[in-house]
Amino acid sequence: MFRFLILGMALFSLRLFSFDPASISIFPSSALAAESAAQKIADLIVSNGGKKTVLGLATGSTMIPVYAALKKIVQEQAIDLSEVVTFNLDEYSDILPSHPQSFRSFMFSHLFDDLLYSSDNSLGIRQENIHIPSDATWTEYEGLIAKYGPIDLQLLGIGRNGHIGFAEPGTSIHSRTMVVNLADTSRRDNAHFWNGDLEMVPKKAVTMGIETILEAKEILLIAFGESKASAIAKTLRGSISEQVPATALQTHPNTSFILDEEAASLLKNGYTTRFINARLLLDHEIQEGELWVSKGKIIPPQSQGDLVVDIHGKILAPGFIDIQINGGFGCDFSRNPEKVDLVARELLQFGVTAFLPTVISSSPSQYRSILPKLRPRTFGTKGAAILGVHLEGPFFSSSYAGAHNPQFIVPSFNSAIETTYGDLQGVKLVTLAPEIPGGADLIKLLESRGILVAAGHSAATFDQIRSSTAMGIGLATHLFNAMSPYHHRNPGIVGAALIDPQLPYSLIVDGIHLCPETISLCWRCNPNGLILISDATEALGLPDGSYKLGTLEIELQGDQIYLSGSRTIAGSNLNLNKAVRLLHSIAKCSKVEALEAASLKPAKLIKVHPQKGTLAIGSDADFVVLSDELQVEATYVGGELAWNLNL
């Protein structure tokens, strides 16, 4: 009975993994992970205060950004390397140490060349302290390590087959420095260093043994990319096996892991993740803190987290929601809506985690074919969620067709709504001109179906817009564009939106649709109402050239898009991330205000808040990681990495 109790207690106290390493730090991108690894190495050298520090070093693609970051830190902070001693893990056999593809050449070109001790650099690393094994010297390697060691910090990469150093699957846990045959996978994985010529990759190598590696006081394993995910999962969760040499690390008392999200991707399933070192946009301010996520939702902090993702001091804000976007990347939602998933995926790079595909004025038969293809749906980490459709038109004032085909504009409403659109299932927002004959009936009808109504492409007077907002119009679409201009005796929709803090209005802040002064004016008059939209066309993300908006030809020239052969602006080439940055710089609003104009405010407008648009507990874990310059560096959907700005 007592035995069962002990066993029960042991099981109860089991954490996520049977192996409980010193730490597993996951970063949104390999660039941030590499910086953090480099900082850890630099910190160790500095903390030794000029006394001897023995480093075990690795080569390979993983180490390239780590060494680049280390060089930068060492040079910027003038760190003294004169007492640093290094031992490399391994080296190819049967090639000269001076061979350009040798690990010795790798180490010098990626790290040592710029840090060597010289008459000009008394803080540099001394040649005689650099040790790299070779065919000629490997038999003395253990003796050398024993003389200077133990190794304070051993860096490790990992092979896809789970090798560490070149201790390949099958290597004994008791092995010491030796000559080995390289596994085929290892040779293939290294062929890119040899111009892709597998035949050139040596078949043998000299490597530290597993027991040698395990004698280091501290081990840091670094892995980037999806190709390492399986080896990492086995190393952390699998049982110790010679078939996966890295599992031997489970016997080491002080091993840490620095991974990017891709390398950690198989660890996260179903577990609680804690995002630390973040500057969170919460309660209308950016505050230091952490975010807990489980099963795609933000949860209250727990006493114990399973996995930790280090945001590295970056801003963490709710994902952007674009409520007006006509397409992008060669897909125009009014022409080829079946390609919407492609746009959904590409939008992740702009921090957009949800959107309303927007259909411009089309014919009744086109609506019937388009709308069923744009029904609300989610794509997990494969794309921004479709929250519904924005129907921009066709009930517009004929005077303000803008870039819509006049042939499809319907300047009055006098029949059943289905006659125009067919089924309204999934429609979230309709932009119309409220002053057209029958406009009031149309607004009431849409309202009664739970659809949000916006005023746009309209010549409405101030009084007309005021009475239609009383009826339920909840938004002015792309204020100033395609509507009667402000007149000092007839302020129209523009005047209504600028003086009524309760009237939200969308704005295309691309620096082309509106001049900076107009953007500033809007911000000063009604900051509360301003919502950013992209109004992007299929040309978004594509080079200059001819494209289409609905049925009309358009021309992209730089950032400007016109109806072909005219100076009529036809949608934009804007994305919401850029709009956030431009609003911040042009209107001189705070970062929080700029970010909320693309997240919290559109979410509230289309009534998906508090599920979206906030990082509050209970909300969807859709968020973006941003630099101080408000550049999106990573996008998460449901707490999982969906896009990152990688090396």
Q: By CB under 6 A, name the binding residues for ligand F6R.
A: 58-62, 89-90, 157-159, 163-166
**259: phi then psi, degrees, rounded to nearest 5:** -130, 155
CB of 226 to ligand F6R, least distance (A): 12
The nearer residue to ligand F6R, 188 or 237, going by C-beta atoms, is 188
The nearer residue to ligand F6R, 163 or 601, going by C-beta atoms, is 163
The nearer residue to ligand F6R, 167 or 348, going by C-beta atoms, is 167
The nearer residue to ligand F6R, 26 or 89, going by C-beta atoms, is 89
CB of 644 to ligand F6R, least distance (A): 18
Using Cβ positions, the residue closest to ligand F6R within the complex turns out to be 157
Q: Is the peptide bond before 406 cis (omega within 30 degrees of 0)?
A: no
CA distance 86 to 587: 53
Are 65 and 31 in contact, with CB atoms under 8 Å apart? yes
As beta bridge partners, residue 355 has 322, 386
CB of 158 to ligand F6R, least distance (A): 6
The nearer residue to ligand F6R, 90 or 332, going by C-beta atoms, is 90
Which sequence positions are flagged as catalytic? 535
Nearest to 315 by CA among 642, 638, 632, 640: 632
CB of 587 to ligand F6R, least distance (A): 45
Q: Is 295 left (phi over 0), alpha (psi -120 to 50) or beta?
A: left
CA distance 499 to 275: 41
The number of beta carbons lying within 10 Å of the beta carbon of residue 489 is 5
Nearest to 243 by CA among 179, 177, 176, 159: 159
Looking at the chain, how many residues does it have? 647
Half-sphere exposure of 43 (CA within 13 A, CB side): 6
Q: Is the peptide bond before 150 cis (omega within 30 degrees of 0)?
A: yes
Q: Buried b vs exposed e over 117-144: b needs ≥16 C-beta within 10 Å?
A: beeeeeebbeeebbbbbbbeebeebbee
CA distance 16 to 142: 36
CB of 92 to ligand F6R, least distance (A): 10
CB of 582 to ligand F6R, least distance (A): 39
The number of beta carbons lying within 10 Å of the beta carbon of residue 8 is 10
Q: Which residue, chain included where needed, has tokens 């509050």? A: 616
CA distance 339 to 174: 56
CB of 183 to ligand F6R, least distance (A): 10
Strands (E), 35-169: 53-57, 84-88, 90-92, 130-131, 153-156
The nearer residue to ligand F6R, 159 or 550, going by C-beta atoms, is 159
The nearer residue to ligand F6R, 249 or 374, going by C-beta atoms, is 249
The nearer residue to ligand F6R, 61 or 518, going by C-beta atoms, is 61
CA distance 135 to 114: 26
CB of 209 to ligand F6R, least distance (A): 12
Report the interhelical angle of 103-110 vs 63-76 (nearest 10°): 40
Three-state SS for 145? helix
The number of beta carbons lying within 10 Å of the beta carbon of residue 94 is 11
The nearer residue to ligand F6R, 165 or 388, going by C-beta atoms, is 165
CB of 225 to ligand F6R, least distance (A): 8
CA distance 33 to 633: 13
